[in-house]
Structure 1
Amino acid sequence: MWVTCSQASLLKGVQLASRAISTRTTMPILGYILLETMKNGLRLTATDLELAVQVDIDAEIKKGGQVTLPARILAEIVGNLPDAMVELKNEEGAHQVEITCEASAFEILGLPAGDFPALPRADGSEIGAIDADMLRTMVSQTIFAVSADETRPFLTGLYIAMEEAEVRFVATDGGRLALRKTGLATTAKQKTGVIVPAKTMQELMRALAGVAGDVQLAMADNQLLFTVPGLRVYSRLISGQFPNYQQVIPQEFKQRIRVQTDRLLRAVRRMSITARDSANVVRLAAKGKKLTITSNTPEVGKAREEVEVTADGDTIEAAFNARYLMDCLNNIDVDELLFELTGPLSPGAIRPTGHSDYVYVLAPVRVYG
Structure 2
Amino acid sequence: MKVSTRRDALFTQLQTVTRAASTRSAVQALSGVHLVAEEGRVELRATDMELGLRVPLEGQIERPGAVVLPARLIVDVVRALPGNEVSLELRSAEQDVEIRGGAATFHIRTLRLEDFPPLPELDDSDRVEVPARAFVETVQKVARSASRDETRPVLTGILVSASGDELRMVATDSYRLSVKETKLDEPLAAGFEANVPARALQELARIVGQVPTDTLIASVRTNQVIFEAGGVTLSSRLIDGQFPNYRQLLPDAYDHTLQLAGGEITEVVRRISLLAQKNAPLRLAFAEGELTVSARTPDIGEASETVPVPFHGEPLEIGFNPEFLRDGLEAIDSGDVLLKLISPLRPGLIEAADGSGFLYLLMPIRLNV
TM-score, scaled to structure 2: 0.89
Query: Which residue in the other structure is 1:310 paired with?
Result: 310
Query: In the TM superposition, what is the alpha-carbon distance from 1:137 to its structure 2 partner?
Result: 2.6
Query: In the TM superposition, what is the alpha-carbon distance from 1:279 to its structure 2 partner?
Result: 5.2
What letter matches 2:244 in structure 1?
Answer: P
Q: Judge conservation of contact 1:128–1:184 (CA < 8 Å) in 2.
A: no
What letter matches 1:162 in structure 2?
Answer: A
Q: Judge conservation of contact 2:167–2:182 (CA < 8 Å) in 1.
A: yes
List alignment gaps of at least 5 residues for structure 1.
none
Query: In the TM superposition, what is the alpha-carbon distance from 1:168 to its structure 2 partner?
Result: 1.4
Query: In the TM superposition, what is the alpha-carbon distance from 1:281 to its structure 2 partner?
Result: 3.8
What letter matches 2:173 in structure 1?
Answer: D
In structure 2, the CA distance between the partners of 1:187 and 1:121, relative to structure 1 (3 Å rule), is farther
- Aligned-pair identity in percent equals 34
Aligned residues: 367
Query: Which residue in the other structure is 2:230 paired with?
Result: 229
What letter matches 2:241 in structure 1?
Answer: G
Work out the CA distance in 2 between the residues paired with 1:304 and 1:101. Answer: 59
In structure 2, the CA distance between the partners of 1:58 and 1:275, relative to structure 1 (3 Å rule), is closer
What letter matches 1:11 in structure 2?
Answer: F
Work out the CA distance in 1 between the residues paired with 2:353 and 2:64. Answer: 57
- Supply the RMSD in Å over aligned alpha carbons: 2.6
Query: In the TM superposition, what is the alpha-carbon distance from 1:105 to its structure 2 partner?
Result: 2.4
Asked if 1:344 corresponds to 2:344, the answer is yes
Work out the CA distance in 2 between the residues paired with 1:274 and 1:86. Answer: 52
Q: Judge conservation of contact 2:91–2:98 (CA < 8 Å) in 1.
A: no
Query: Which residue in the other structure is 1:140 paired with?
Result: 140
Q: Judge conservation of contact 1:129–1:186 (CA < 8 Å) in 2.
A: no
What does residue range 60-71 of structure 1 map to in structure 2 within 5 Å?
60-71=60-71
In structure 2, the CA distance between the partners of 1:314 and 1:93, relative to structure 1 (3 Å rule), is farther
Asked if 1:156 corresponds to 2:167, the answer is no
What does residue range 1-369 of structure 1 map to in structure 2 within 5 Å?
1-90=1-90, 95-123=95-123, 124-132=125-133, 134-184=134-184, 187-212=187-212, 213-276=214-277, 278=279, 280-288=281-289, 290-295=290-295, 303-311=303-311, 316-367=316-367, 369=369
Work out the CA distance in 2 between the residues paired with 1:116 and 1:9. Answer: 24
Query: In the TM superposition, what is the alpha-carbon distance from 1:339 to its structure 2 partner?
Result: 0.8
Q: Judge conservation of contact 1:257–1:312 (CA < 8 Å) in 2.
A: no
Q: Aligned to 1:201, what secondary structure does the other structure show?
A: helix
Work out the CA distance in 1 between the residues paired with 2:195 and 2:58. Answer: 34
Work out the CA distance in 2 between the residues paired with 1:298 and 1:72. Answer: 44
Q: Aligned to 1:17, what secondary structure does the other structure show?
A: helix
Cα displacement string for residues 246-304 of structure 1 (whole angstroms, at most 9, x for unaligned residues): 2223443332211122221232234435544645241331534x223344567666554
Work out the CA distance in 1 between the residues paired with 2:169 and 2:113. Answer: 37
TM-score, scaled to structure 1: 0.89
Q: Judge conservation of contact 1:254–1:313 (CA < 8 Å) in 2.
A: no
Deviates more, 1:276-285 or 1:65-74: 276-285
